[in-house]
Structure 1
Amino acid sequence: MSKGKRDRTTKARQIVEQQRAAERRRTVTIWTSVAVVVVLFIAGLVGYSLVSNQDDGKLTTPSAAVDEGTAFAFGSGPVTVDIYEDFMCPACNNFEQAAGPALKQMVDSNKITLRYHPVAILDRYSNGTEYSTRASAASAAAAEEGKFVEYHDVLYANQPAEGTDGLSNEKLIELGKTVGLTSDAFAGAVNEGTYKAWATQATEKFSERDYTSTPTIVVNGEQLKGPNDTLPSVDQLTAAVEKAAG
């Protein structure tokens, strides 16, 4: 083969290889573009799903709520007593068993305005079921039907232990029926989580007010504690109310 012919053959092979390399690059580019489009499409679906879920969980503040929509008030006495509680909190239950009757008596005697603030700081103790949030939301649904105190009391009477799944929505509805919450509206609010976003916001307000544990008891704006940051006794609570009343 002559040198000229060999050069032409070599050049032809180079052109073919260049064309093949260019084709491979085009193929990679095409599939890369397809992959990018697919990723963007999936991201769009995920984003839409998140937005949809946010819409489903939109904030619905109970019409009965007071104090920036965080509490439910009872009585009209001159001294305001605020109680911040988590329905899974054992200390809250202990406080209610000890001080609940005295607080109700002070409401009935027109000495205090009692404001219950359901908060949800113990969701981590219910194995991912968000019991604190669900119970708080259910109490808001009860408040809308004028049964907050009754439902509040029955939730504490049936309080689940920390570290369990808590009560199911079915059980929350069943307990509601025992105190007269028999409407479809109440059951629907529990099953649909109507007030879950509200429970989250109320808990955020609790934190913004620099409270860190439950129960937190506040008398006319002053947090009340027992010795060494323990729970205040009934006598301390009574004395604080009398002092605030002047």
Structure 2
Amino acid sequence: MSKKSRTQSRAEKAAEIKAAQARRERKRRLLAIGGVVGAMVLIVGGAVLISALNREDVEPADVGASEYGFVYGPDEADHTVVIYEDFLCPHCGTLEAAAGEDLAEQADQGAVRIDYRPVAFLGEESVRTLNAFKVVLEESGPDVAKEYHDALFAEQASAPLADDQLVELAVESGAEEGAVRGGIEDMAQEDWVTEATEAAAADGLQGTPTVQLDGETFDDGSSWQEIGANLVAAVQE
């Protein structure tokens, strides 16, 4: 074997080792996240669901104070709302469908300031999706990120989305493909996703969605659709 061939072989072997290490580290992180919420996973009809149990145990959130939150609405709003959510959680999708558009409208009118606290409770696909959201937030700014947030929930029935679909949805939301594709495909914000999920669990989060209105747990209703409608009514008062 020539010197050039031996050098190339060593380089390829080193790349394989590095890739294997990266895969092991990613698996370790996913297992760590799964361990945080494993006791709360419910198997219903073959689907994995997480519902917000013991919501009263979550520490009151200081709106706008967390590096893991995404705030929408003015500082001087009459009300504050905190929503812990997972983009793949069907209950979160129900809440978003019932209240998301109206809450955003109330925020635009100055009635409420919303602090979204996304987490990844539902395994690898939740991690991938939240990573994509954070990439868009970092690279394209809050206005595009809000559009992407809404679009991810609108497409929840099609989840999990492949990388190309996540990128396409980001572009449709206003992001530049060149700015976000690399971070989405390379999981550039995976550490942030892990930290955000662990921080929420440390605050007492038991499941998603969990809602706080003006610093207190809000669960007025017998379903997430009803809770969403009542939440909108409450911020209009």
TM-score bucket (shorter structure) = 0.5 to 0.7
TM-score by length of 2: 0.67
Runs of 4+ aligned residues of structure 1 deviating over 2 Å after TM superposition are: 230-236, 238-243
Deviation at 1:120, TM superposition (A): 0.4
User: What is aligned with 2:97?
Assistant: 97
**Within 2, Cα distance between the matches of 1:114 and 1:238?**
12
Q: Quick one: which of 144, 152, 156 aligns to 1:155?
A: 152
- State whether structure 2 residue 107 is matched by structure 1 residue 122: no
**Superposed CA offset, 1:126-157 (max 9, x none):** xxxx1101111111112121211111111112
TM-score by length of 1: 0.64
Query: Compared with structure 1, are the counterparts of its residues 100 and 227 closer, same or farther at alpha carbon in structure 2 (3 Å cutoff)?
Result: closer
Q: Which of the two has higher C-alpha Rg? A: 1
Question: Any unmatched runs of 5+ in structure 2?
Answer: 1-16, 30-63
Deviation at 1:215, TM superposition (A): 1.1
**Within 1, Cα distance between the matches of 2:135 and 2:109?**
27
- State whether structure 2 residue 92 is matched by structure 1 residue 67: no
1:80-91 aligned within 5 A? 80-91=80-91
Deviation at 1:160, TM superposition (A): 4.4
**Superposed CA offset, 1:40-66 (max 9, x none):** xxxxx89x947x958xx9xxxxxxxx5
Give the SS at the match of 2:156: coil
Query: Compared with structure 1, are the counterparts of its residues 154 and 235 closer, same or farther at alpha carbon in structure 2 (3 Å cutoff)?
Result: closer
**Within 1, Cα distance between the matches of 2:233 and 2:164?**
41
Query: Compared with structure 1, are the counterparts of its residues 179 and 106 closer, same or farther at alpha carbon in structure 2 (3 Å cutoff)?
Result: same
**Within 2, Cα distance between the matches of 1:158 and 1:236?**
24
Give the SS at the match of 1:233: helix
User: What is aligned with 2:217?
Assistant: 223
User: What is aligned with 2:60?
Assistant: none
State the structure with bigger RCO (CA 8 A, min sep 6), 1 or 2.
Answer: 2
**Within 2, Cα distance between the matches of 1:190 and 1:234?**
31
Provide the aligned length of Structure 1 versus Structure 2.
Answer: 179
Give the SS at the match of 1:81: strand
User: What is aligned with 2:235?
Assistant: 241
Question: Any unmatched runs of 5+ in structure 1?
Answer: 1-44, 58-65, 124-129
**Within 1, Cα distance between the matches of 2:88 and 2:25?**
26
**Over aligned residues, Cα RMSD in angstroms?**
2.8
User: What is the one-letter code of the residue matched to 1:170?
Assistant: D
**Within 1, Cα distance between the matches of 2:115 and 2:231?**
15
Deviation at 1:94, TM superposition (A): 0.9
User: What is the one-letter code of the residue matched to 1:72?
Assistant: F
Deviation at 1:84, TM superposition (A): 1.1
Determine if contact 1:87/1:155 at 8 Å carries over to the other structure. Answer: yes
Percent of aligned positions with the same letter in both sequences?
32
User: What is aligned with 1:173?
Assistant: 167
Deviation at 1:241, TM superposition (A): 3.1
Query: Compared with structure 1, are the counterparts of its residues 241 and 150 closer, same or farther at alpha carbon in structure 2 (3 Å cutoff)?
Result: same
Q: Quick one: which of 180, 184, 191 aligns to 1:186?
A: 180
Deviation at 1:235, TM superposition (A): 4.4
